C-alpha cells in the first residue's frame, strides 16, 4: 500500500493543529514551520521513543545535550568550513538561484511547464555555496567573533568523547546519543517539513574498535530499520539504499540510507523515495581531525594546531592505544515525524457514507491517548465524572483530555482524525440512570477503539489498568 500524497498531510496538519506555517500573520518565512498543540506532542513522542530505544533500552549508550554555538575551530577541523557546500547557479534572466545539481528537477519561476535546466535562461557557472549560517558572538561584528549555527549535532559528540569516557568509566564499544536543532541555509528547501533550514536531528556516534566497524555498521542498520517497524511503519514504505562510492561524504567509508516513500504521487517509482536516516561508517576521521598535532587519514597528513589533546582510547586489558572508529546513525526528527504521519493516514467510510480520516498512529506516538467525553454536557453529574476520569488517567501518566465541544459522533470523528487510540464516554448508565430505571451500568463507561470502532463497556475502576496494558 502506498503512502498518502503529502498535500493531504499539509492540509490535515493545518486543519487539526499539527503544523502551521511560521510567522503566518506576517506572510510567513519561506519553508519555516511551527509545530502546533498536537504536532509538538507527536514530535516529542517520536524523540522520546528514539531516546528510550537507543539510550535507556541499551547498556552501551550515554546521552548528551551540546551547545548549538561552538568554537569556530570545530568547523574548521571537521571540514565544514571548507567543504560543507552545495553547487549554486544564478539565472541572469530571472535572478533566481538554484542548486546546480537539481536544475533538471526545479520548475523555472519564469517559464511555465519548464525545468530550470530546460529553459532558455542564461545560467552562471556553478560556485560553491556554504550551507552554514553565520552569526556573531558578543556585540562586535568582526571576524574574530564569527560563529556558526551548527549544521549537525554530531560534532559535539566527537569533541566530548574524552569527557564521556572519563566521567562515565566507559569502555569501547559505546555510543553517545543526542537530539537537537541543526541549521542549514539550504538553497532549495521545500516539501513541507521534509527539507527546511532549521530542523532537528536524532544522532548517535557509536565508538568501536577498528576492525569491528563493519559488523557494528550492519548491526546499527538493522537496529534502526527495526525501530521504525516497531512503531508501526509499514515495511513496504521504508527501504535500504546503499550509497555508491561517488555519493559518500568525505569522511565516510560506507553509508546505508533508510529511505521512506515520501513522494508517492511521483510517476517515476525511483523518485518516490527519499532519505529518512543515514547510517554511516565515519571511520576514525573525526576523532583524528579534532586531535592535537599530526594525524594521517587515507594516506593524507592533517595537522591540528589548536586542539589541546589527542582523542584516543587506551584499552586497559589489551594495553593498547588506538583511535576508535565511529558508526553514525543520523536521523531527522522532523522527517521521522512526517513519515509517521504519512504512514498512519487512512480514510474509512463512515455510517453516513462519507470518507473519514483515521490517523492510525502507534499508541506510543499518538499525541493524546484517551479522550474522555460526557454524553450530555448540560448534566453536571455526568460532566463531573468525566472530568474525574480524565484527571485520574492523567495522574497515572496516561495523556488524556476532556472534550465536550460537540456531539459524540462528531467528537469520535475528530479524535480519529488526530490519532487518539481510545475514547471514553460517560453517560446516564454511568450514573445508574439507564433506560427504564436500569441501574446495572452504574460506574461503567463506554470505551471506543479508534481502529475497529468497536465499543465495550468497562467499570471505571478498571480503566487505568486497561489502558496501561493497551498502551504499554
Ligand atoms: N551527521 C550526519 C548528518 O548530518 P545528513 O544526512 O546530512 O547527515 C542526517 O543528515 C539527517 O538529518 C537526514 O537523514 C535527514 O533526516 C535530516 N536532515 C538533513 N537535512 C535536513 C533538512 N534540511 N531538513 C530536514 N531534515 C534534514
338-393 pLDDT per residue, tens: 999 999 999 999 888 888 999 999 999 999 999 999 999 999 999 999 999 999 99
The rounded Å distance from CA 138 to ligand 1 centre is: 29
Give the separation between CA 446 and CA 457, rounded to whole angstroms.
Answer: 5
Measured at the CA of 296, the angle between CA 295 and CA 301, to 5 degrees, comes to 90
CA 413, 415, 419 angle in degrees (round to 5)?
115
Which atom of ligand 1 lies nearest, measured to the CA of 195? 24
Min mean pLDDT across 100-114, 180-194, 264-278, 432-446 is at 100-114
Ligand 1 atom closest to residue 189's alpha carbon, by position in its atom list:
23
Please write the tens of the pLDDT for every residue from 231-241: 999 999 999 99
pLDDT at 143: 78
Centre of ligand 1 to C-alpha 59, Å, is 26
Mean pLDDT within 158-166 = 97
Ligand 1 atom at minimum distance from 280 CA: 2
275, 281, 285, 329: residue to mutate for ligand 1 pocket, most atoms within 8 A of CB = 275
pLDDT (0 to 100) of residue 352? 80
Other CB atoms within 10 A of residue 395 CB: 10
- Distance (Å) from CA 34 to ligand 1 centroid: 18
Name the residue with higher pLDDT: 432 or 92: 432
The CATH number corresponding to 368-471 among 3.30.300.30, 3.40.710.10, 3.40.50.2300, 3.40.50.800 equals 3.40.50.800
CA of 201 to the centre of ligand 1 (A): 7
CA–chain centroid gap for 324, Å, is: 28
The end-to-end CA distance of the chain, in Å, is 27
Return the C-alpha cell found at 393: 488517567
For residues 140 and 429, the model is more confident at 429
**Dist CA 128 CA 108 (whole Å):** 21
The average pLDDT across 196-215 equals 98
pLDDT recorded at residue 92: 85
What is the CATH topology of the domain spanning 6-70+151-341?
Answer: BirA Bifunctional Protein; domain 2 (3.30.930)
- DSSP annotation of 108 reads P
Distance between Cα 58 and ligand 1 center (Å): 24
- 46/340 Cα distance (integer angstroms): 9
Total residues belonging to the chain? 472
Residue nearest to ligand 1 atom 16, measured at CA: 332
Cα gap 210→12, rounded to integer Å? 48
Q: Which atom of ligand 1 is nearest to the CA of 335?
A: 16
Q: Is 453 left (phi over 0), alpha (psi -120 to 50) or beta?
A: left
Percent of the chain with pLDDT over 70: 99
Atom of ligand 1 lying closest to residue 151 CA: 4
pLDDT averaged over the chain? Answer: 95
Q: Mean pLDDT, to the nearest integer, of 204-218?
A: 98
Query: Residue 309 half-sphere exposure, CB side, CA atoms within 13 Å?
Result: 10
Cα–Cα distance list, 12 to 38, 40, 235, 250, 345 (Å): 11, 15, 24, 40, 10
**245: its cell numbers:** 562510492
Residue with cell 545560467: 123
What are the start-end ranges of the H helices in 208-326?
A: 213-230, 285-289
Mean pLDDT of 116-124: 79
CB 254 within 8 A of CB 278: no
Residue recorded with cell 460532566: 383
Q: Are strands 85-90 and 97-99 parallel, antiparallel or unpaired?
A: antiparallel
Q: Mean of the pLDDT values across residues 83-90? A: 89
Give the span between the Cα atoms of 35 and 186, in whole angstroms. Answer: 20
- Backbone torsion region of residue 277, taken as left when φ is above 0, otherwise alpha when ψ lies between -120 and 50, otherwise beta: beta
Phi, psi of 9 (to 5 degrees): -70, -40
List CB contacts of 18: < 8 A, sequence separation 6 or more: 12, 35, 36, 38, 39, 42, 341, 418
Identify the bridge partners of residue 257 per DSSP, sorted by sequence position.
241, 278
Pocket test for ligand 1, best of 249, 280, 335 (most atoms within 8 A of CB): 335
Q: How many whole angstroms from 196 Cα to the centroid of ligand 1? A: 10
Given this model, what pLDDT does residue 426 score? 98
C-alpha to C-alpha distance for 369 and 347, rounded to whole angstroms? 20
In this structure, of 16-25, 90-99, 443-452, the range with the lowest mean pLDDT score is 90-99
Q: Where are the chain's structural domains? A: 6-70+151-341, 368-471
Q: What is the mean pLDDT of residues 34-51?
A: 98
Using the mean position of ligand 1's atoms as its centre, give its distance from the Cα of residue 339 in Å: 14
pLDDT tens digits, one per residue of 240-254 = 999 999 999 988 999
**The three grid cell numbers given for residue 282, joined into one nine-digit string:** 565515519
Q: Which residues line the pocket of ligand 1, CB cutoff 6 A?
A: 152, 154, 184, 186, 195-196, 199, 201, 203, 275-278, 328, 330-332, 334-335
Nearest CA owner, ligand 1 atom 20 = 195
For the CA atoms of the chain, what is the radius of gyration? 26
pTM reported for the whole predicted model: 0.95
pLDDT reported for residue 351: 80
- 108: pLDDT confidence band, cut at 50, 70 and 90? confident
Per-residue confidence band for 188, with pLDDT thresholds at 50, 70 and 90: confident
pLDDT at 121: 66
- Which residue lies with its CA nearest to atom 8 of ligand 1? 330
- DSSP codes of every residue in 309-332: S---EEETTTTEEEPPEEEEEEEE
Nearest CA, atom 2, ligand 1: 330
Q: Which residue's CA is the closest to the ligand 1 atom numbered 12?
A: 332
Nearest residue (by CA) to ligand 1, atom 18, is: 332
1 has a pLDDT exceeding 60? no
pLDDT in tens, 123-134: 888 989 999 999
Amino acid at each position: 500500500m502506498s503512502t498518502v500524497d503529502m498535500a493531504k498531510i499539509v492540509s490535515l496538519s493545518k486543519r487539526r493543529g499539527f503544523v502551521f506555517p511560521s510567522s503566518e500573520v506576517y506572510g510567513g518565512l519561506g519553508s519555516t514551520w511551527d509545530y502546533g498543540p498536537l504536532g509538538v506532542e507527536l514530535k516529542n513522542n517520536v524523540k522520546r521513543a528514539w531516546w528510550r530505544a537507543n539510550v535507556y533500552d541499551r547498556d552501551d549508550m550515554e546521552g548528551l545535550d551540546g551547545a548549538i554555538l561552538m568554537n569556530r575551530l570545530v568547523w574548521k577541523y571537521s571540514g565544514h568550513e571548507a567543504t560543507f557546500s552545495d553547487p549554486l547557479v544564478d539565472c541572469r534572466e530571472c535572478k533566481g538561484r538554484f542548486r546546480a545539481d537539481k536544475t533538471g528537477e526545479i520548475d523555472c519561476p519564469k517559464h511555465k511547464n519548464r525545468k530550470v535546466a530546460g529553459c532558455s535562461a542564461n545560467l552562471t557557472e556553478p560556485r560553491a555555496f556554504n550551507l552554514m549560517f553565520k552569526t556573531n558572538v558578543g556585540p562586535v561584528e568582526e571576524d574574530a567573533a564569527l560563529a556558526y549555527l551548527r549544521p549537525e549535532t554530531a560534532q559535539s559528540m566527537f569533541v566530548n568523547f574524552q569527557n564521556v569516557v572519563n566521567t562515565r568509566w566507559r569502555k569501547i564499544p559505546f555510543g553517545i546519543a543526542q537530539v537537537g536543532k541543526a541549521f542549514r541555509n539550504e538553497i532549495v528547501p521545500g516539501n513541507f517539513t521534509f527539507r527546511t533550514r532549521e530542523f532537528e536531528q536524532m544522532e548517535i556516534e557509536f565508538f568501536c574498535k577498528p576492525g569491528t566497524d563493519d559488523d557494528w555498521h550492519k548491526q546499527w542498520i538493522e537496529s534502526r530499520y527495526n525501530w521504525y517497524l516497531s512503531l508501526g511503519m509499514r515495511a513496504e514504505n521504508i527501504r535500504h539504499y546503499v550509497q555508491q562510492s561517488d555519493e559518500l561524504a568525505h569522511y565516510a567509508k560506507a553509508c546505508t540510507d533508510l529511505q521512506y516513500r515520501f513522494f508517492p504521487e511521483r510517476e517515476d517509482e525511483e523518485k518516490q523515495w527519499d532519505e529518512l536516516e543515514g547510517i554511516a561508517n565515519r571511520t576514525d576521521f573525526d576523532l583524528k581531525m579534532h586531535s592535537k598535532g599530526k594525524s594521517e587519514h587515507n594516506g593524507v597528513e592533517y595537522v591540528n594546531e589548536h586542539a589541546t589533546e589527542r582523542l584516543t582510547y587506551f584499552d586497559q586489558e589489551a594495553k593498547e592505544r588506538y583511535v576508535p572508529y565511529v558508526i553514525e546513525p543520523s536521523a531527522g526528527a522532523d522527517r521521522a515525524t512526517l513519515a509517521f504521519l504519512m504512514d498512519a493516514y487512512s480514510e474509512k467510510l463512515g455510517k453516513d457514507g462519507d470518507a473519514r480520516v483515521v490517523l492510525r498512529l502507534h499508541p506510543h506516538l499518538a499525541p493524546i491517548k484517551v479522550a474522555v467525553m460526557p454524553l450530555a454536557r448540560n448534566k453536571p453529574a455526568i460532566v463531573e465524572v468525566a472530568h474525574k476520569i480524565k484527571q485520574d488517567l492523567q495522574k497515572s501518566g496516561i495523556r488524556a483530555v476532556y472534550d465536550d465541544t460537540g456531539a459524540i459522533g462528531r467528537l469520535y470523528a475528530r479524535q480519529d482524525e488526530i490519532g487518539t487510540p481510545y475514547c471514553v464516554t460517560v453517560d446516564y448508565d454511568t450514573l445508574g440512570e439507564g433506560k427504564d430505571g436500569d441501574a446495572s451500568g452504574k460506574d461503567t463507561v463506554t470505551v471506543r477503539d479508534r481502529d475497529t470502532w468497536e465499543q465495550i463497556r468497562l467499570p471505571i475502576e478498571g480503566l487505568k489498568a486497561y489502558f496501561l496494558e493497551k498502551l504499554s
